[in-house]
Amino acid sequence: MKICLRRAMVLTLIYTLFCCSANAVEYESFGKRDPFVPLAGINLEYKAVGSTGEIKTIDDVVLQGIVVGADGANSAVLNDQVMIAGDVLDSMRVESISDTLVKVTIGDQTYDIRLYEE
């Protein structure tokens, strides 16, 4: 009786493994974002983030967000570029970044860009 019960359990296990592997769906990663690649990053070695040739006035600057890091250092997303204080993009220089305000200099003019309208 024990042998028949063992055989039945082994056959059930083999059947279950076979059915599960036959119906398994393979994960297709083509066209999907790699979850281990950061969405935004800061390279502190370079002060000039990029050049688009488009920033001539404050109207050309779009503040898309402010990121507060775990260490308390703030970063700003300006014109699709992640920037920190001191970074330069075209004729714009980021002077400072607070939780709700980014201070930039374009030419010899200094502007405050608020994240939220008051």
Count of domains forming the chain? 1
Beta carbons of 100 and 114 less than 8 angstroms apart: yes
Q: Look at residues 77, 92, 90 and name the one whose alpha carbon lies nearest to residue 39.
A: 77
Span 35-48, pLDDT tens digits: 766 666 544 443 44
Q: Which two tokens stand for residue 86?
A: 């001191």
Task: For residue 20, tell me if it sits in a domain.
Answer: no
Task: For residue 87, tell me if it sits in a domain.
Answer: yes
Span 55-92, pLDDT tens digits: 888 988 989 999 888 888 899 999 888 999 999 988 89
Give the domain extent around 107.
Answer: 48-114
Span between the terminal Cα atoms of the chain, in Å = 82
Task: For residue 26, tell me if it sits in a domain.
Answer: no
Task: For residue 88, tell me if it sits in a domain.
Answer: yes
Predicted pLDDT of residue 66: 92
Asked if residue 98 has pLDDT above 70, the reply is: yes
pTM over 0.85: no
Kindly report the CATH number assigned to the domain that includes residue 74. Answer: 2.30.30
What is the pLDDT averaged over residues 19-32? 66
